[in-house]
Structure 1
Amino acid sequence: MPATILVVNVNTTEAVTEVIRASAEAAVSATTRVVALTPRFGPASVESNYESYLSAVGVLDAVQRHDGEFDAVVHAGFGEVGREALQDVLDVPVVDITEAAAHTACLLGRSYGVVTSLDRAVPAIHDRLLLAGLAGRCAGVRSVDLPVLEIEANPELTAKAFVDRATRLVEDDGAEVVLLGCAGMAGVHEAVAAALTVPVVDGVAAAARLAESLVALGLSTSKARSYAPPRTGDVRGWPLRAAGGGGRSTGGSGE
């Protein structure tokens, strides 16, 4: 049976979801089906800790309300929280684009650098890489200082700014691989890659392909300890569905 991968945007902007979908579809096999989801509630763009935690609930809701079977989930938020919660409630692989991009980069060079949107996103990305045990290979994180939605709306401006920051990462910081540190940057990957002499990794593409590989290998999240199903029967007023639509859920929540 062909695999179905849910790729979930962390914000509620449909145009960003479309960029994410196109990037994921281009990366996976022709027989793999990509379904891109936009949360029904949450921030239009995720640019702060406050918005990141709000978006995590919206992403959970979108996945658990999805009507249809799926074999893996890609959490398409670079440096955002929420991946672990999905792993708690699902029995299929969940791949975060931050970790997927960094793991891929570590196979391509000794060090990598990240170019992201706003400067305030830099600490959050450092924190996620540290939590994942990947910070030691990170040469630096630089921002183009553009809001997420402006990145999506102005690909030429974004590409120019990205190339400038990426060049500084390579020449000044010693990065041997460069990561696109925002899901909305996926649309400028080709232009940026053509301007640089080092590999450029799009986290959405890397995560989608990695998720597809995990499905093919028959592997998923361990439920031994950290990501065991949650005991949420006594949570009151929780907005999520008790069981996840047509997807395979290992845990639910009270209505």
Structure 2
Amino acid sequence: MKVLVVNVNTTQSMTEAIAARARQAAAPGTEIEALTPHFGPASVEGNMESYLSAVAVMDRVLAYDGPYDAVIQAGFGEHGREGLQELLDVPVVDITEAAAHLAMLIGRTYSVITTLDRAVPQIEDRLALAGLLGRCASVRASGLPVLELEQNPDRAVKEIAEQAVRAVRDDRAEVIVLGCGGMAGLEEAVRERAGVPVLDGTAAAVKLAESLTGLGLSTSKIRTYAPPRPKPMTAWPLGAQLGLWHPREARTRS
């Protein structure tokens, strides 16, 4: 089984960190292929960058030359999952939804600890759209920009853990979800301080992708995620140059 894990930003070191966490979570026999978009922001912090990233992620997946069995969108609260589901015939798993789904299996309520405060409403909106907000006790900001997570890991653990403790104490959260792909690998340190289960979205998405693939399940194509209608696309960044735009040419199950 091969799973594509697509970083939503263009910072290669973050792609590598996400890939390492995905490989730790993967079962024997699951191959993780990590992809970085060919264009877009170095970090995604806001709606404009999120929409741009959505196009870049779709383009990067369409440009991938080879078979695969599932795709993971590794951006917390970002746009684009629905577009990938229209384009592809394999399971598409978003780390936001994967983490929230698993959190609700092991606790009555969960809280998300994310980066900047501006990400809070965006994450709340994505959870609401997915029908997952009702059991979210809170979405809290650590105050750390995305790129600082890897530049200053000690501060990252301190600030994230502090917000996790407050979520458990003040918001009555029973599970903590790490609300950024760049937080992969911090679960144990945060769990030790917060005293509750801590979920990383990348690891959760890998296990769900493996499960869906193993069960032979993928996105329904009957209505909402039916393939895009074939039509001319003006100046598609890379897919058109590679002759890959037409939705039927998107790579399918290996």
- Contact 1:68–1:246 under 8 Å retained in 2: no
Give 1:66 deviation, angstroms. Answer: 0.7
1:39-188 aligned within 5 A: 39-188=37-186
Give 1:243 deviation, angstroms. Answer: 4.8
Residue by residue, what CA displacement relative to the aligned partner does 1:38-95 show, whole Å, maximum 9, x if unpaired?
A: 0010000000100000001110111011111000000001000000000000000000
Q: Which amino acid aligns with 2:177?
A: L
Aligned-partner Cα distance in 2 for 1:202–1:188:
8
**What is the match of residue 242 of structure 1?**
245
Q: Which stretch shows the higher mean deviation, 120-129 or 190-199?
A: 190-199
- Normalised TM-score (structure 2): 0.94
Give 1:234 deviation, angstroms. Answer: 3.0
Q: Which amino acid aligns with 1:145?
A: G
Query: Which of 205, 210, 213 is matched with 2:208 structurally?
Result: 210
- For 1:201, what is the secondary structure of its paired residue? strand
Aligned-partner Cα distance in 2 for 1:243–1:59:
16
Give 1:247 deviation, angstroms. Answer: 2.3
**What is the match of residue 252 of structure 1?**
none
* Count of residues in correspondence between the two structures: 247
- Contact 1:155–1:188 under 8 Å retained in 2: no
Structure 1 outlier segments of 4+, above 6 Å: none
Q: Which stretch shows the higher mean deviation, 190-199 or 31-40?
A: 190-199
Aligned-partner Cα distance in 2 for 1:188–1:108:
19
Aligned-partner Cα distance in 2 for 1:41–1:73:
19
Q: CA RMSD in A?
A: 1.4
- Normalised TM-score (structure 1): 0.94
Query: Which of 197, 200, 209 is matched with 2:198 structurally?
Result: 200
Aligned-partner Cα distance in 2 for 1:32–1:237:
35
Give 1:28 deviation, angstroms. Answer: 1.2
Give 1:246 deviation, angstroms. Answer: 7.5
- For 2:134, what is the secondary structure of its paired residue? helix
Aligned-partner Cα distance in 2 for 1:29–1:183:
20
Point out where structure 2 has 5 or more consecutive residues left out of the alignment.
Answer: none
Q: Which amino acid aligns with 2:251?
A: G
- Contact 1:6–1:35 under 8 Å retained in 2: yes
Q: Which amino acid aligns with 1:88?
A: E
User: How high is the sequence identity, in percent, across the aligned residues?
Assistant: 60
